[in-house]
A and B are shown apart, each in its own frame.
Chain A
Amino acid sequence: MSKTASAMETLILHLTKLPSVGRKTAERLAFHLLRAPKEDALALAEAIRAMRERIRRCSICGNITEDDPCLICRDERRRSDVVCVVEDPMDIVAFEKSEAFEGVYHVLDGCLSPLQGITASDLRIDSLEKRAREGSVQEIILATNPSVEGEATALYLSRLLEPHVKKITRIGLGVPMGGSLEYADARTLKKALEGRTKVE
């Protein structure tokens, strides 16, 4: 039997499922929410509920959005003929913070990994190929992570898309090797974009 009341215990168990939250942190957070003004605690619960109900995927790029297509895809000032391919919607957040990119995105939802059984059909590659085939895309920038899996995915995509797109580039310079784009700072990403190279 647990020593904490059951509603409290339930919350603690849910909190421990969050990334980098251990049992101790979960307990601290739960007791914080208990002592905080009731409106604040309920506002958090409501925010989580609203987020889950309203957020969906953009049907063009796969970004997370409330309205479909997303704000980036609808923005007419952006260059819709330059597509930056990323693994994760979180990477878009990082690129947008850098304010260095005026094109649009395409989210793959991961990268190829034969070891984990992740193949091209598990990723949003079909929809990317379709976008490329439509002929209006002038440049594709491959911004997958600099891991072995990210590199392999970039090489795979460059071969796949070569017949349809004039210019295919890979970000490189400045991105920490073996790192994750999520943790790269804005200046690093800006440099990485400027230093993109043609994929051989």
Chain B
Amino acid sequence: MLLRELRARRFRNLREIDLRFPDGPVLFWGDNAQGKTNLLEAIYFLATGRSFRSRNDRECVAWDAPPDEAASVAGQIERADARREIRVVLYQGEKRLFLDGKPLARLAELFGELNAVLFTPADLQIIQGGPSARRRFLDLELSQISPAYLAALQRYNQALRHRNALLRGGRPLERIALDLAPYEAIMAEAAGEILRHRAAALEDLGRRAARAHAEFGAGERLEISYRHFMRNDGADAREDVVEKYRSRLEADRADDLRQGATRSGPHRDDFLLTLDGRSAQDFASQGQQRSCALALRIAEVGLMEARRGEAPLLLLDDVGSELDAGRRTD
């Protein structure tokens, strides 16, 4: 997969850029704060419809842009099967996506058009950060390769928001039992699908990451294990958990009502990276953690290529520190 052209207007500090890319790797160098990371952010925006740095799209609009002027990023993509033009427009707090000039109704329609994997020093957070950083990694990877996964994830999250709204509505359990049941049924069905995809992806990523890690020359064996939401119920990640999870939600109603939130489900999932059986998060040095993060990203590239039949676009931010991680084993 290749990016042939990139145009950006008022995207962060990229006031007006028009770039054409040759075959082969492209390197940008320059001082800090010139916009190298912004450039990668703009490209990543085309792949996922959002920023990898901020939750709020508004932050991506140049701070001095007049309010009636849009910020935009457009890219010409060359894939084995097609050429595509993707355009993202940020205008007055709204985001509009266009594929070959036609507006896309939903963000989901963008996923898979351009596959990109980003390597950044912030990847260390996947190892050091909380479970949400690892879920985010997994969701972005799987959303890019499986529309079914993204659909299930969106259904799950929407039904979860409704269930939580009922739990926080201030009504007693006996008054909301009939209302809760439909959302629990939808959540359970979607959760089964999410679990299946995550389990398969982590198994594959685990194998690939271990291989990459070994190639760095590091002595320890890297392993990834899925800490899924049904493991306390004795369920295996490969079995059909729909009915079990639906029962769990029903059994948790009283407790969840007290907490005002749904406590068990894919939204609490995590995965654990270990080096020779010891948690990389708790016991590895920063250098070892960097190696783990890099191995995970390399595994992501491999999985994406295997599933899509084409290598994704690689975006490497701050190459020096990243490539260092491959050699350092202290």
Provide the A150-182 mask, 1 if CB < 8 A to any CB of B, else 0. 011111100110000000000000000110000
Q: Does A114 lie within 8 Å of B181, measured CB to CB? A: no
B181 to chain A, nearest CB (A): 7
- B158 within 8 A of partner (CB): yes
List residues of chain A with CB within 8 A of the CB of B178.
156, 159-160
Number of A-B residue pairs at CB separation under 8 A: 45
**Interface presence of A148 (CB below 8 A):** yes
Residue of A nearest to B166 (CB): A114
The answer to whether A151 and B179 have CB atoms under 8 Å apart is no
Q: Mark A120-147, 1 if CB is under 8 A from B, else 0.
A: 1000000000000000000000000000
Interface-facing stretch out of B182-190, B268-276, B307-315? B182-190
What's the dominant secondary structure at chain B's contact region? helix
Q: Does B179 contact A114, Cβ atoms closer than 8 Å?
A: yes
Cα–Cα, bound, A53→B186 (Å): 42
Number of interface residues of A (CB under 8 A): 18
Q: Is A59 close to B, CB under 8 A?
A: no
Q: Which residue of A lies closest to B155 (CB)?
A: A148
Contact across chains for B182 and A114 when beta carbons are under 8 A apart: no
Contact B186 A178 (CB under 8 A): no
Bound form: Cα–Cα A192–B158 in Å: 24
A115's partner among B155, B162, B186 (CB-CB below 8 A) is B162
Main secondary structure on A side of the interface with B? helix
- The reply on B161 being an interface residue by CB < 8 A is yes
Q: A160-B178, A178-B151 are in contact. Are A152 and B186 (CB under 8 A)?
A: yes
Contacts of B159 in A (CB 8 A): 148, 152
Q: How far is the CB of A144 from chain B (nearest CB, A)?
A: 11
Contacts of B179 in A (CB 8 A): 112, 114, 119-120, 156
B200 near A: Cβ within 8 Å?
no
The contact of A114 among B106, B155, B165, B186, by CB within 8 Å, is B165
Q: Decide: A156 and B182 in contact? CB cutoff 8 A.
A: yes
- In B136-179, the 8 Å CB interface with A consists of 151, 155, 158-159, 161-163, 165-166, 169, 178-179
Give the contacting residue for A151; candidates B165, B181, B182; CB below 8 A.
B182
Residue pair B181, A159 in contact (C-beta under 8 Å): yes
A160 to B159, CA, bound (A): 20
Please indicate the chain A residues that have their CB under 8 angstroms from the CB of B181 in the complex.
155-156, 159
Find the B residue at minimum CB distance from A153: B182
CA distance in complex: A177, B148 (Å): 11
* A113: Cβ under 8 A from any B Cβ: yes
Residue among A119, A120, A152, A154 with the most chain B CB within 10 A?
A152
| Bound CA span A86–B163, Å | 23
The interface residues of chain A lying within 8 Å CB-to-CB of B166 are 114
CA A88 – CA B147 in complex, angstroms?
Answer: 29
> In the assembled complex, which residues on chain A have CB atoms less than 8 Å from the CB atom of B185?
155
Instruction: Provide a sorted-by-A list of 6 A–B residue pairs whose CB atoms are within 8 angstroms.
Output: A148-B155, A149-B162, A152-B182, A152-B186, A156-B178, A156-B181
User: 19 additional contacts, CB 8 Å, given A112-B179, A159-B178, A159-B182?
Assistant: A114-B163, A114-B169, A114-B183, A115-B162, A148-B155, A148-B159, A151-B186, A152-B159, A152-B183, A152-B186, A153-B182, A155-B181, A155-B186, A156-B178, A156-B182, A160-B178, A177-B151, A178-B106, A178-B151
